[in-house]
Amino acid sequence: MNKTLTLLLLLLTITSCKNNSPQETSITVETPDYIELIETDYQLYKPTQKAKAVLVLFGGFPETAEDIKREFKILDLAKQNNIAVIFSNYNKKLWLETQEKHQLASQIQKIIVDNQLPTNAIYIGGFSSGGVVSLLLSDFIIGLKQYYIDPKGVFIVDSPIDLAALYTSSEKNVKRTDPNISNEESQWILNTLTDAFGHPDQNLENYQKHAVYTSRSNYTNNLKRLKNTKIRLYTEPDTLWWKTNHKANYDQLNAYYIKKLSQSLEAQQFKHVDYIPTTNKGYRSNGDRHPHSWSIIDTEDLIDWILKD
């Protein structure tokens, strides 16, 4: 199934649509410097001293907290710099409904308040579909007074931000007849998006309402409250790798739309947008080369960004 597609979705490193079973009981482990709290919905690592910042992480389509920890080597650096980290088990979301945003915002606020973590130095980020969650949730939190955990910064890692483009790319893949490339994921995407929103040619407003970004109309309204928030957009536009392994063209890649979004936000005077394309940094924890990976982030640079005013 990994043979499949392109782009925008390797998001779904999907082996199935079934959720990995999260922890069912609460476990607390304390060392002289850090406290580890394992809950059903998340894992929290917090310093015993006052934390300098809070980093909230959302994984890709099938990723749990354990998967994030395996693929994204940030925890040791966070500990060295007195940063609390929340690894979320929340996944399998290409978009968020309002009720889901409220649920997540309330959960994160409760974790932060209950654990006496700072509310003025919160950073939210995610890989693939987790980046979609991060951007949409951050914009939502800033827009409501009932939440007092406004993120200071938000980042994405090669996320499928344009749902209409995802639909179009999946259509191309389904029509393709290459016997070496499976179309199962593309068909699943088409079915999911069609059931939820219809075809984008006739129902573009539905896509605009739910997507981070809609390039065909340059619609960015779902990010309007992030104009003064620090934003990082990570991607690795390895067009040769995608063409060789998935027969994907550049305009089918997450990287293509992430670059377009960065240009659009800068044109709208968003003050702190960093577009960060990388080269040959994408590798999975098992050593496999893959530009769609957590590893494209320079972790030391990310920590510096978090700690910088």
Q: What is the CATH number of the domain that holds 165?
A: 3.40.50.1820
pLDDT number for residue 241: 97
Domain containing 152 equals: 27-307
- Contact 105/141 with Cβ under 8 angstroms? yes
Is residue 218 included in any domain, yes or no?
Answer: yes
Closest CA to 105 of 158, 56, 72, 163: 56
Is residue 1 included in any domain, yes or no?
Answer: no
pLDDT number for residue 6: 44
Is residue 154 included in any domain, yes or no?
Answer: yes
Residues counted in the chain: 309
Residue whose entry in the numeric block shows the structure tokens 């539905």: 206
d(CA 204, CA 294): 31
- How many C-beta neighbours within 10 Å does residue 33 have? 11
Is residue 221 included in any domain, yes or no?
Answer: yes
Is residue 256 included in any domain, yes or no?
Answer: yes
Is residue 234 included in any domain, yes or no?
Answer: yes
- CA distances, 53 to each of 108, 122, 149, 309 (Å): 14, 6, 12, 11
Three-class HEC string of 193-247: HHHHHCCCCCCHHHHHHHCCCEHHHCECHHHHHHCCCEEEEEECCCHHHHHHHHC
- Contact 279/255 with Cβ under 8 angstroms? no
Beta-carbon contacts of 198 under 8 Å, excluding residues fewer than 6 positions away, are 206
pLDDT number for residue 184: 86
Within the chain, what is the greatest distance between any pair of CA atoms?
A: 59
Domain count, the chain: 1
Beta-carbon contacts of 2 under 8 Å, excluding residues fewer than 6 positions away, are 13
pLDDT number for residue 29: 83
Token pair belonging to 245: 């392994």
pLDDT number for residue 19: 42
Rg (C-alpha) for the chain, rounded Å, is 19
pLDDT number for residue 91: 97
Is residue 6 included in any domain, yes or no?
Answer: no
d(CA 138, CA 123): 9
Token pair belonging to 49: 């001293």
pLDDT 10s per residue in the chain (309 long)? 443 344 444 444 333 333 444 445 688 887 779 999 999 999 999 999 999 999 999 999 999 999 999 999 999 999 999 999 999 999 999 999 999 999 999 999 999 999 999 999 999 999 999 999 999 999 999 999 999 999 999 999 999 999 999 999 999 988 876 776 778 888 999 999 999 999 999 999 999 999 999 999 999 999 999 999 999 999 999 999 999 998 899 999 999 999 999 999 999 999 999 999 999 999 999 999 999 999 999 999 999 999 997
Beta-carbon contacts of 308 under 8 Å, excluding residues fewer than 6 positions away, are none
pLDDT number for residue 25: 64
Is residue 160 included in any domain, yes or no?
Answer: yes
Closest CA to 212 of 134, 152, 278: 134
d(CA 272, CA 254): 21
